[in-house]
Chains A and B, each alone.
Chain A
Amino acid sequence: MKICLRLFAVALLAALPAMSLVQPAHAESTLDKILKAKKIRVAIDVGNPPFGILNKDNEPDGSDVAVARLMAKDMGAEIEFVQVPSTGRIPALLAGRADVTIASISVTTDRAKTIMYCNPNGALSIVIFGPKAVSIKTPADLVGKRIGITRATLEEATVPKMAPQGTNIVWFDEIGATIQALLSGQVDAVAMTSFAGKTVADGNPDKQIETKLPVTTAFYGPIVRQGDFELRQWINTWLFLNAQNGTLAAIYKKYTGLDLPPLPVF
């Protein structure tokens, strides 16, 4: 036993200099690591049409996924998708499971306290949808109604603020559950992006789902960990070039059917 301990102590002492070598004074930036490994890990949410979906071959697809693929290609890196639910988009980044998250994360000051935004790569509107039979014309009509929203989304950040007291807000973990709740009548109306709402309405014509109230319009962009300035700057450079040459607008049009509004930068 004693010998074991002594051996362990010797081994530990021998390992010390090696350990300190592993962490040089100037740590390698995430961008350096990506370029060296020729591999970038991108967190995506494939449960959020039209930004992230699984296509017929069960492959990730959608406007954000298309942006991610093109970005990785121009970087000369192989792309590794890290599929996360909407609640996992920021945690996956913070936990180091991904280098960047590209999953229609709308820009808010609260989120910017934990992560860094790159410039926007698209815009989305949050709208309240409901069946024709449910009458919602002004925010005051929300009183007494059950409104379904999805956690960790822009609607969670905005709907509770606009809804008057007496609105019954129901939270779901995933947009799929929110949609199911609307279709099964567990909620009277839901708040989601105009694209998601359109997809649901088109897919279920018998439910007569229509737009009730606009909530907000927001811009969304890729996010990186705080301190990853080099990576952020590279992504911003890429976004600048591809906004100029019309690539971003083409991707947006292809997946949403809408024209991309002019993207502000910061």
Chain B
Amino acid sequence: MNYVFQFNVVWEHFPELLTGALLTIQLSATAMVLGLCVAVLCAYGKTAGPRPVRWLVASYVELIRNTPFLVQIFIFYFSLPVIGIRLTANNAALVAMTINLGAYASEIVRAGIDAIPVGQIEAARALGLKRLHIFRFIIIFPALKTVYPALASQFILLMLSSSVVSTISAVELTAITNSLQSTTFRSFEFYFVATGLYLAMALGFRATLSAIYWAVFVRGREA
């Protein structure tokens, strides 16, 4: 095969690719924050909540973890309008990503909570700490520290799987790449560069997450 690579077309459109990458970053970062909140709430509900709450959380987690992400996106974008809820493509993507991440991350957080020795919690109770304080300082903080690497991996995975939301017309990096390759027909070149951008974003997120770990869990706690 004698294919001639022409990367100059890609550089012409590079600002558009960056706009797409920016939306990918925004969507992923927002979904990470919201998804973690959902995860912590669910993990708390599942470990300490009353039985109906535990049952509800378990159903949510199993429902999301055992259905394809693409189908979940379609439901939020194409099916919700039937019952009168019309989300824009970006919002539908964000909601789907948050709910998806929440389910996966809640199991990770729960594993961290389960790893807390019961004696530690009993000691806190004996010292007279309030329920919320126990959860905040004795349970969730060390739990998150323990499972942080697993959470970070899940976050990166979410960022990479966000490429699927182009199917519902959210204009993130994959969507823009698809549009550009289909109008310029330089698919190799555009997909190569998009791959590079995803790699850069994944490494960037990893570095940021490591920095957050250091700032929250390590700094000032060396003793």
User: Contact: A170 with B187, CB < 8 Å?
Assistant: no
Given A184-B78, A186-B78, A87 and B182 contact (CB-CB distance below 8 Å): yes
What chain B residues lie within 8 Å of A156 (beta carbons)? 179, 182-183
* A115-B182 Cα distance, complex, nearest whole Å: 13
Q: Kindly state whether residue B153 has any CB partner on chain A within 8 Å.
A: no
* A148-B86 Cα distance, complex, nearest whole Å: 16
Contact of B167 among A96, A172, A185 (CB under 8 A): A172
* A177-B175 Cα distance, complex, nearest whole Å: 14
A115 to chain B, nearest CB (A): 7
* A156-B169 Cα distance, complex, nearest whole Å: 13
* A94-B184 Cα distance, complex, nearest whole Å: 13
User: Contact: A170 with B89, CB < 8 Å?
Assistant: yes
A110 to chain B, nearest CB (A): 7
Q: Kindly state whether residue B188 has any CB partner on chain A within 8 Å.
A: yes
* Count of chain A to chain B residue pairs whose CB atoms are closer than 8 Å in the complex: 68
User: Contact: A171 with B78, CB < 8 Å?
Assistant: no
Per-residue interface assignment for chain B, residues 152 to 186, with 1 indicating a CB less than 8 Å from any chain A CB and 0 otherwise: 00000000000000111101000100110111111
B75 to chain A, nearest CB (A): 11
B100 to chain A, nearest CB (A): 19
Given A96-B1, A171-B169, A171-B175, A186 and B77 contact (CB-CB distance below 8 Å): yes
* A174-B74 Cα distance, complex, nearest whole Å: 13
Closest chain B residue to A27, Cβ basis: B2
The prevalent SS among residues of B at the interface is helix
What chain B residues lie within 8 Å of A185 (beta carbons)? 81, 86
User: Contact: A173 with B183, CB < 8 Å?
Assistant: no
Among A110, A113, A177, the one with the most B-chain Cβ atoms within 10 Å of its Cβ is: A177
User: Contact: A94 with B77, CB < 8 Å?
Assistant: no
What chain A residues lie within 8 Å of B181 (beta carbons)? 87, 91
User: Contact: B185 with A90, CB < 8 Å?
Assistant: yes
How many chain B residues touch A (CB < 8 A): the figure is: 27
Q: Kindly state whether residue A135 has any CB partner on chain B within 8 Å.
A: no
How many chain A residues touch B (CB < 8 A): the figure is: 28
User: Contact: A94 with B79, CB < 8 Å?
Assistant: no
User: Contact: B188 with A94, CB < 8 Å?
Assistant: yes
Q: CB within 8 Å of B: which of A94-121?
A: 94-96, 110-111, 113-115
Per-residue interface assignment for chain B, residues 83 to 94, with 1 indicating a CB less than 8 Å from any chain A CB and 0 otherwise: 000100100000
What chain A residues lie within 8 Å of B74 (beta carbons)? 180
User: Contact: A184 with B81, CB < 8 Å?
Assistant: yes
Given A90-B187, A110-B185, A181-B78, A173 and B86 contact (CB-CB distance below 8 Å): no
User: Contact: A172 with B168, CB < 8 Å?
Assistant: yes
Contact of B86 among A151, A170, A186 (CB under 8 A): A186
What chain A residues lie within 8 Å of B175 (beta carbons)? 171, 173
Among B2, B79, B183, B184, the one with the most A-chain Cβ atoms within 10 Å of its Cβ is: B183
B residues touching A (Cβ–Cβ < 8 Å)?
Answer: 1-3, 74, 77-79, 81-82, 86, 89, 166-169, 171, 175, 178-179, 181-188
A172-B169, A177-B167, A186-B78 known; 17 other A-B pairs, CB under 8 Å? A87-B178, A90-B185, A94-B185, A96-B1, A151-B179, A152-B178, A171-B169, A172-B167, A173-B175, A174-B167, A180-B74, A180-B78, A184-B79, A185-B81, A185-B86, A186-B86, A227-B2
List 7 tightest A-B contacts by C-beta distance, closest first. A152-B182, A114-B185, A91-B187, A184-B81, A184-B78, A180-B78, A170-B169
Q: List 11 A-B contacts (CB under 8 A).
A: A90-B187, A91-B187, A110-B184, A151-B179, A152-B178, A156-B182, A172-B169, A181-B78, A181-B169, A186-B78, A227-B2
